[in-house]
Amino acid sequence: MAEIKSLPQVEIKNLYGGYDHETVLEDINLTIRENDFIGLIGPNGGGKTTLLKIILGLLPPKKGSVHVMGQPPQRGRQHIGYVPQFAIFDSDFPISVYDVVKMGRLSGKRVFKRLTDKDDDIVEEKLAWIDLLDYKNRGIRELSGGQRQRVYIARALATEPEVLLLDEPTISIDFESRTKIYELLHNINQQGVTILLVSHDLNVISSYVKTIGCLNRNFHYHGKKEITEEMLKAGYNCPVDLIAHGLPHRVLADHQEGR
Amino acid sequence: MAELLSYGFMQNALMAAVLVSLASGVIGTLVVLKRMVFISGGIAHTAYGGVGLAFYFGVNPIFGAVAFSLLASFLMGYVQRKTRQRQDTLIGVMWAIGMAIGIIFADLTPGYKADLMSYLFGSILAVTNADLLLMLAVDILVISLVVLFYKELQATAFDETFARVRNLPVDLLYVILIAMIGLSVVMLMRVVGLIMIIALLTVPAAIGAMYLKNMKHIMWLATGLSLIFTIGGLLISYTYNLTSGATIILVSGVTYLAALVMHRFCRRCPN
């Protein structure tokens, strides 16, 4: 596929990041362009969530620069649709599916303003998209894990984002729902939304994403879909043959590939 | 009954029940949904320090309570948000220090101190016209703020990170919320006493959250339940000559347990 050099939507240069006394990310460089679909893998504690936090302007970088749509993250993040990690939610919270998706229509600029009919239309449209329009009046606590995750994707889509950022969207979800979510993401990407997907679910993401990167303090990324042995060794510390089995696509590059 | 209503203190008590229920229904719902029950208990107890201090200096204790309650709200809110570790310890310590200050200053104050007991255990039958005015003012303030920021408050209660990414004023909303809790606490103190505030602030909303899934509806139901508990408890305590605050709390506590059991065994209940 010919590479089209479009505008960078997220641009990370020489980024160091982490918390008070520890650096989790070292010298990260990443450019996300329009219509990319990047899968980000890496071990737990490898800095995946930290990187997302920095892109979202929730954590300042220690060094280096981050731009979202050409702006600092705290301004640029209005163009990002964020789907947080599933596990952190209060699954017992009393709220309807509709009201959750409607949160996507809120923003700092609209604090004192009422939501309009147009907002309702957008909410309905996104609910139809994720195939849960019939469930709009249900409480989210009545839904299955997979359904709930789709609701959070709809909420992110309701912000009408340029970039969709997902943090482990399929953790603790059964296989069938996973496939459904990845199909959905594939369609979203086809509609022109850029996607950055964090997951440790390498087997599944490899058949949907366009490119894969490995993050373990350092970032290993060649803008390709193949995972090189070097990436695995450095990034994932995970035996190659474990991953090579039964994949719908061949994601492992030949050993002699010189990168 | 008609005879009962002819007493001025009873009319005041009923009016206090209505005013207090509005605050406990609306703010209680946010406290329960945002999981701020412990911090609310802390604010209530710390406020006693203000009561003791005001008593010592001969000021109306309610002013001391308001000042301390707001101070405690902001301090505890700060601890909750800005420190990484031992938040519950710090809040627990402030809780106890506040109480201790109140008790020491009460000791230092010469004379009769029965009035102080009413802040600990509440006395809905002793609510004055001035108290009612204060309650009305707090209600108006609290309800206007909640109406104004309703959608944002709901969004931050549900998922603060998402709200922040949407650039909602998350920190400002937190400050507003915790100040509203502080003011409501002082109000509830007059009725059930600071020791039992947590129950009246959380039980009605918790029952509502069990059965409903719309925050507005939960607020309405919690207000209604709170009104039933306060008036029911008041009548029972009056009939059997019991402490009104404790009776109100027992009525709500028993109802809560019943609601829990019912919810567990009721399959067709909306979830």
Region of poorest pLDDT, from A218-222, B24-28, B212-216: A218-222
Q: Which chain A residues are Cβ-neighbours of B151 within 8 angstroms?
A: 102-103, 106, 115
Angle CA A169–A170–A171, to nearest 5: 100
Q: pLDDT digit string (tens) for B187-203?
A: 999 888 988 899 999 99
- In one-letter notation, the amino acid at residue B202 is T
Looking up residue B118, the CATH number of its domain turns out to be: 1.10.3470.10
Q: Which one, of A79, A66, A80, A74, lies nearest residue A29 by Cα?
A: A66
Q: Rounded to whole angstroms, how far apart are CA atoms A34 and B14?
A: 63
Asked whether B183 and B69 are in contact (CB, 8 A), the reply is: yes
Asked whether B30 and B157 are in contact (CB, 8 A), the reply is: yes
Containing structural domain, residue B225:
2-265
Instruction: Please report the pLDDT score of residue A258 as a whole number.
Output: 36
Asked whether A259 and A228 are in contact (CB, 8 A), the reply is: yes
Q: Which chain A residues are Cβ-neighbours of B159 within 8 angstroms?
A: 84, 89, 103
Q: pLDDT digit string (tens) for B111-147?
A: 777 678 888 888 898 899 999 999 999 999 999 999 9
In a domain, B271, yes or no: no
**Does residue A249 register a pLDDT over 60?**
no
Asked whether B193 and B125 are in contact (CB, 8 A), the reply is: no
B159–A89 CB contact, under 8 Å: yes
**Does residue A257 register a pLDDT over 50?**
no
Q: pLDDT digit string (tens) for B4-56?
A: 888 889 999 999 999 999 999 999 999 999 999 999 999 999 999 999 999 89
**Contacts for A100 with CB less than 8 Å, ≥ 6 apart:** A140, A151, A152, A155, B158
Residues of chain B above pLDDT 70, percent: 97
Q: Rounded to whole angstroms, how far apart are CA atoms A48 and A52?
A: 6
Q: pLDDT digit string (tens) for B230-268?
A: 999 999 999 999 999 999 999 999 999 999 999 888 766
A94–B162 CB contact, under 8 Å: no
Angle CA A234–A236–A237, to nearest 5: 75
Instruction: Please report the pLDDT score of residue A246 as a whole number.
Output: 39
Q: Rounded to whole angstroms, how far apart are CA atoms B268 and A57?
A: 44
Asked whether B47 and B98 are in contact (CB, 8 A), the reply is: yes
Considering only CB atoms, A108 lies closest to which of B148, B166, B271, namely B166
Q: Say what the pTM is.
A: 0.88
Asked whether A235 and A42 are in contact (CB, 8 A), the reply is: yes
Q: Are strands A22-33 and A8-19 parallel, antiparallel or unpaired?
A: antiparallel
**Does residue A61 register a pLDDT over 80?**
yes
B159–A96 CB contact, under 8 Å: no
Two tokens, residue B61:
């204790």
Q: Which chain B residues are Cβ-neighbours of A99 within 8 angstroms?
A: 154, 214
Considering only CB atoms, B167 lies closest to which of A94, A99, A107, namely A107
Q: Rounded to whole angstroms, how far apart are CA atoms B31 and B37?
A: 6
A99–B163 CB contact, under 8 Å: no
pLDDT tier, A250 (very low <50, low <70, confident <90, very high otherwise):
very low
A82–B162 CB contact, under 8 Å: yes
In a domain, B217, yes or no: yes
Q: Which chain B residues are Cβ-neighbours of A84 within 8 angstroms?
A: 159, 161-162
CB atoms < 10 A from the CB of B125, how many? Answer: 17
Instruction: Walk me through the domains of chain A, giving residue ranges and CATH numbers.
Output: 8-90+162-244 (3.40.50.300)
Angle between helices B197-211 and B244-265 (to 10 degrees): 20
Instruction: Please report the pLDDT score of residue A242 as a whole number.
Output: 40
Mean pLDDT to the nearest integer, A223-248:
54
Instruction: Please report the pLDDT score of residue B2 as a whole number.
Output: 74
Q: Which one, of B258, B223, B251, lies nearest residue B236 by Cα?
A: B251
| 3 state DSSP class of B7 | coil
Q: Rounded to whole angstroms, how far apart are CA atoms B204 and B214?
A: 15
Asked whether A94 and B215 are in contact (CB, 8 A), the reply is: yes
ipTM value: 0.89
A94–B213 CB contact, under 8 Å: yes
- HEC secondary structure over A231-248: HHHHHHCCCHHHHHCCCC
pLDDT tier, A256 (very low <50, low <70, confident <90, very high otherwise):
very low
Instruction: Please report the pLDDT score of residue B1 as a whole number.
Output: 66
In a domain, B270, yes or no: no
Q: Which chain A residues are Cβ-neighbours of B162 within 8 angstroms?
A: 82, 84, 103, 155
Q: pLDDT digit string (tens) for B141-179?
A: 999 999 999 999 999 999 999 999 999 999 999 999 999
Shortest distance between the Cα of A31 and any Cα of chain B, in A, equals 21
Region of poorest pLDDT, from A193-202, A210-219, A240-249, B213-222: A240-249
Asked whether A46 and A79 are in contact (CB, 8 A), the reply is: no
- In one-letter notation, the amino acid at residue B92 is G
B167–A84 CB contact, under 8 Å: no
A:B CB pairs within 8 Å: 77
pLDDT tier, A235 (very low <50, low <70, confident <90, very high otherwise):
low
Q: Which chain B residues are Cβ-neighbours of A196 within 8 angstroms?
A: none
B159–A103 CB contact, under 8 Å: yes
pLDDT tier, A248 (very low <50, low <70, confident <90, very high otherwise):
very low
B163–A56 CB contact, under 8 Å: no
Instruction: Please report the pLDDT score of residue B134 as a whole number.
Output: 92
Overall domain count for chain B: 1
Q: What are the C-alpha distances in Å from A208 to residues A178, A194, A197, A215?
A: 12, 13, 11, 19
Range list of β-strands (E), chain A: 8-19, 22-33, 37-41, 63-68, 80-83, 163-167, 194-198, 211-216, 218-221
Q: Which chain B residues are Cβ-neighbours of A74 within 8 angstroms?
A: 167
B218–A99 CB contact, under 8 Å: no
